[in-house]
Amino acid sequence: MAGRKGVKPHAYTEAELTFLKLECEMPRKELTEAFNKRFGTSLSQKAITGTCKRHGWLTGRTGQFTSENRPAGGGAKRPNRTSFKKGQKPHTWRPIGTERTTKEGYLQRKVTDTGNTVHDYVEVHRLLWEEHHGPIPEGHVVIFKDGDRTHITLDNLMLISRAELVVLNKTGLIKVEPELKPAAQAIAQLRIQHRKRKRPDDERNQPSG
């Protein structure tokens, strides 16, 4: 069954899909909120759930107790000697400003201390861009001109729309030399505009009824 007319499916980036894969065990509501906050999107919980389901990224939760997670006596689990006391931080806690590198090669920095690492850590190249240019608009991403995720300098960053990124990836223009990236983006914009102009003509030429 075809999708609803006029509704375009979200073009996920590699970073977004990796994020969903790594955090797939989160409750879908929380995952959706974390995803939209991280990437500046406004996807619905249904869309996120559908994407995870298509890729086989399940929560791993059945809603049933097993021999491993069933509380003794069927009641709530009581604190034991190894439980954290109020105000006590786990050994994995790190202060704000701590940096880490993800499996995908992105450098992240801890900017808040909510206890939820999904919210607390943000890609450093995003922070650098927003420091000089303001918030990243919805539907846009910041890419590295030379493709090197460790080369985090302002002149190596570039803001493009997700639609442009799709074109760059499909055409291979994403791999052009850094100095040619603006030209590649312009080509992507022309292709998108051409497709938009062509769509009304195609609809008019379709037989009625």
For residue 110, give the H/E element and its range.
strand 107-110
Q: Give pLDDT, residue 109.
A: 92
Residue 74, Cβ density class (10 Å: 0-12 exposed, 13-18 middle, ≥19 buried): exposed
Residues facing residue 99 across a β-bridge: 109
Q: Give pLDDT, residue 123.
A: 93
Tokens for 50? Answer: 């559908």
Which residue is it, tokens 């034991």? 80
Residue 154 inside a domain? The answer is no
Quote the number of domains for the chain.
Answer: 1
Residue 28 inside a domain? The answer is yes
Q: Do 51 and 19 form a contact (C-beta atoms < 8 A)?
A: no
Residue 203 inside a domain? The answer is no
Instruction: Report the interhelical angle of 162-171 vs 181-205 (nearest 10°).
Output: 100
Q: What average pLDDT values come out for the chain (209 residues) when binned by 10 residues?
A: 57 83 84 86 88 80 48 52 63 88 92 87 94 93 95 96 95 94 95 84 57
Instruction: State the residue range of the domain holding 43.
Output: 10-58
Residue 41 inside a domain? The answer is yes
Is the overall model pTM greater than 0.75, yes or no? no
Q: Give pLDDT, residue 74.
A: 52
Residue 1 inside a domain? The answer is no
Tokens for 170? Answer: 């499909």
Q: Give pLDDT, residue 106.
A: 94
* Residue type (1 letter), 26: M
Q: Give pLDDT, residue 40.
A: 82
Residue 27 inside a domain? The answer is yes
Residue 33 inside a domain? The answer is yes
